[in-house]
């Protein structure tokens, strides 16, 4: 932090996998009280070692941590936001889809295409720019509409 200029912007890269943080408040709060030496016990207790849940929890924690720290460096006018992309066509995407199984397949059918890194980069650039000066603790989701689809489905509106 000392190396950042006053007025800097921090953008944390999460994932739309972190959008379910509201449903996992108890686990997030519990993890927040764990010190480094307790991480292994936490993982064992919640049976998340190597599971899709470990990825989802890590992204939920990034989203929540971003919101919690939106004003931590307010005295230096340093702001913090997050970007939570949907599926982006990268070398790890096939492995990720396989890990999620049927759950991912259903969601992917509703996209017109996979995202590209070029779909996310301008969002990050915007949050780093002076034009985003009033954004603090925001989580922008370039996801091709997948988040809207899942939310509507979840609440019986689509």
Paired residues of 42 in beta bridges: none
Task: Measure the CA–CA gap between 55 and 95, rounded to whole angstroms.
Answer: 13
Annotate 69-84 with b (16+ C-beta within 10 A) or e (fewer): bbeebeeeebbbbbbb
Q: Does 155 qualify as catalytic in the annotation? A: no
10 Å Cβ neighbour count for 47?
10
Name the active-site residue from 8, 20, 55, 147.
55
Q: Are 6 and 75 in contact (CB under 8 A)?
A: no
Q: Which residues are catalytic?
A: 55
């Amino acid at each position: 932090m000392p190396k950042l200029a006053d007025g800097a912007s921090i953008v944390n890269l999460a994932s739309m996998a972190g959008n379910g943080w509201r449903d996992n408040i108890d686990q997030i709060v519990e993890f927040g009280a764990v010190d480094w030496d307790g991480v292994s016990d936490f993982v064992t207790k919640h049976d998340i070692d190597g599971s899709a849940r470990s990825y989802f929890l890590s992204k939920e924690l990034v989203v929540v941590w971003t919101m919690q720290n939106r004003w931590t460096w307010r005295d230096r006018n340093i702001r913090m936001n997050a970007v939570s992309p949907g599926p982006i066509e990268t070398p790890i995407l096939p492995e990720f889809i396989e890990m999620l199984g049927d759950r991912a397949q259903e969601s992917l059918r509703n996209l017109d295409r996979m995202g590209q890194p070029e779909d996310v980069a301008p969002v990050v650039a915007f949050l780093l720019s002076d034009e985003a000066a009033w954004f603090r603790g925001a989580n922008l989701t370039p996801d091709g509409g997948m988040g809207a689809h899942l939310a509507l489905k979840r609440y019986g509106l689509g």
